[in-house]
Structure 1
Amino acid sequence: MTRLILAAILTALIHLINTLIYSVRPAGVHTKRLAIAYSLFNVIFLFASTANMVLAPLLSSIVEHGIQRASAASPGVDISGIVNTALYQQELAALNQDIRLVILAATAGTLVGIIFIPTFVRVFVRGIMLFDEIKSVPKMLLMLLFSPRRIISLLRSFELPGKDMVRRARAKKANLPKTFLWMNFFANAIFTTSVLSAMYAGALFPEFRATSVVLSGVVNGFATLMFVMVVDPTAAMITDQALRGERDEYDVKQMSFYLALTRLGGTVLAQAIFVPAALLIQYVAMFIAHPPF
């Protein structure tokens, strides 16, 4: 249970930070310093990268412990045979619920990130201007750490989205391509569940579970293509148009808001495609392990 809670917390943290990245473009457009905005965000993204390094083996250990418990309760039965035992089916059902809890944590982290996007736009604007003055990230961090006045000033930037903000977003029709929002929706659903589905597929096909886990990279490849071919270029084009004055700056804010919403929807869709994706990965792993030719 401790491993599961830690996995859920790390997942929520990773998705929170990955959602806050949508505050970078509006801050960069507002200050006309987009490259600096992304550079400063990388400092925060280090925390998500570190959490991700811990999360993968942690999730894997949850699957391994379930297999080990079932194997220990079925002495003399090889690893392919324990799948059909009643105890192993119970372990699979428990693992299914555990993984769904982790996906729910991803949704929760994304939702919290959406709530704090307006705040982080303001924080990044201040951070960008401070960096432009100091021109050193280490010095800037030290100044923030040892300057209570600046910390209080940043804390005052925190603001929850109010009714006026939501009303303004709904009042003005979004001048955004719908295709890239749908692509973002489906890509985030795949990203959210790919590794989790692969690990569950490994539990369904334990004798070749390493093969199943590796296949998560193939599944992620489809989502990566959506991002590289459609989502990122379109978002970059809209941002550049705003920087050149060809678009209203508010369009970038709306884009960030809708990208965050479709990301949230993607984490919800991940609950629905989690098991089908696992079964697909299991089928491919079985095909690779026992080819018909």
Structure 2
Amino acid sequence: MTRLLIVAALVAVIHMINTLIYAVRLSGVRTQRLATALSLFQVIFLLSSTANLIQAPLLSSIVEQAINQGLQHAVQAERIAEIVLSPFYQEQLALLSKDIRFVIGAASVGTLIGWVLIPPFVKFFTRAILIFDEVGSVPRVFLMVVFSPRRVREILQRRKPEVIPEQNENNFKFTSIPKGFLLFNIIITGFYTVGVLSSLYAGALYPQFRQTAGFLAGIINGVAAILMATIVDPTAARITDQALRGARAEKDVRQMTYYLAATRLVGTVFAQVILIPSAYVIKYVAQAIT
């Protein structure tokens, strides 16, 4: 149980950071330094990558434990296929499904936290961009924040960062933001959320070739990556560039930020729906190629 809670906490952090990515474009538009904003966020994104490196083997060990317990209890069966159909193994699968759904629930919680943190994060990140623009070095920014906060205040007073308006109903009023790419963001988030999780569950359904099933997570993630690269990212970049050129109001980028975060939250809920179907698709593909 402790291991599961650690995995859930790490997944929540990952999805919180991935949600805050949407706010980076808003900070870039506000400061007119989009490239700097995207570059600086990579420092924060390292936390997400580190959390992912830790949670992946922990989650795999939870799945392996469920499989091994099921197989060891039914040692009298002659074939693994028969073991999988045994009542005890099916019980282990049911428990594993609950654990995986708990992890997906943690992804929803992390996304919700990230959504709520967008206004203060934009305010913080806007100031970070202005300080970096003055100092020119990430390590020096960290040292200045720790050892010379007075210098930081002087820079911010001189650069006068704009006050970020609080989240309100205007942030959720549709303007000319395309509706289709928001719908695709739901689908993409759902696929990305269950990509690895469904492959792990498929490995439990088909334990004799669970390594093959694990590698087939690329099927789910591949579909999501294609949709992200062809529909969501280009549209979001176009809206951001239009705001930078003055062809759109900044509020369009702000509204897009909140809508992307909201649809990402819906996408994590959608992941609960497609978890089992995705696992069976991976299982059947694994069976077909083995």
Same fold (TM over 0.5): yes
User: Partners in 1 of 2:165 and 2:198 — Cα distance?
Assistant: 34
Alpha carbons of structure 1 residues 277 and 152: separation in structure 2 relative to 1, 3 Å: farther
For 1:112, the equivalent position in structure 2 comes to 113
Q: How far 1:84 sits from its partner (Å)?
A: 1.4
- Going from structure 1 to structure 2, the CA distance change for 1:230 and 1:212 (only over 3 Å counts) comes to same
Counterpart secondary structure, 2:69: helix
Match of 2:50 in 1: 50
Q: Secondary structure at the match of 2:81?
A: coil
Percent sequence identity is: 53
| Correspondence for 1:207 | 208
Cα pair distance change 1:275/1:152, threshold 3 Å? farther
- Decide whether aligned partners of structure 1 residues 86 and 40 sit closer, same or farther in structure 2, where only a CA change above 3 A counts: same
Q: What does residue 229 of structure 2 align with? A: 228
Structure 1 residue ranges, 4+ long, deviating more than 6 angstroms after superposition: 150-154
1:249 aligns with: 250
C-alpha separation between the residues in 1 aligned to 2:92 and 2:80?
Answer: 14
Write the deviation string for residues 36-85 of structure 1: whole angstroms up to 9, x where unpaired: 10111000000100111112111111110111112222224443332012
Contact 2:200 2:210 in 1 (8 A): yes
String of CA shifts for 1:183-232, please: whole Å, max 9, x gaps. 11100010011111110011000001111111111211111011100110
How far the C-alpha of 1:144 sits from its partner, in A, is 1.7
Asked whether the 8 Å contact 1:184–1:259 carries over to 2, the reply is yes
Asked if the contact 2:205/2:283 (under 8 Å) is kept, the reply is: yes
Alignment coverage as a number of residue pairs: 283
Taking the aligned partners of 1:103 and 1:150, their CA distance within structure 2 comes to 43
Q: Which residue of 2 aligns with 1:32?
A: 32
The corresponding residue for 1:73 is 73
1:22 maps to 22
Match of 2:168 among 141, 154, 166: 166
How far is the alpha carbon of 1:123 from its aligned partner?
0.7
State the partner residue of 2:280. 279
Unmatched tracts of structure 2, length 5 or more: none
Q: 2:103 corresponds to which letter in structure 1?
A: V
Q: Which moved more, 1:77-86 or 1:42-51?
A: 77-86
**Coordinate RMSD, CA, aligned:** 2.1
**2:17 is aligned with 1:8:** no
CA distance in structure 2 between the aligned counterparts of 1:182 and 1:229, rounded to whole angstroms? 14
1:144-183 map, 5 Å: 144-147=145-148, 165-170=167-172, 172-183=173-184
Distance in 2 between the 1:146 and 1:207 partners? 57
**TM-score, normalisation: structure 2:** 0.92
- Could you state the TM-score of these two structures normalised by the residue count of structure 1? 0.91
User: How far apart, in 2, do the equivalents of 1:84 and 1:250 lie?
Assistant: 56
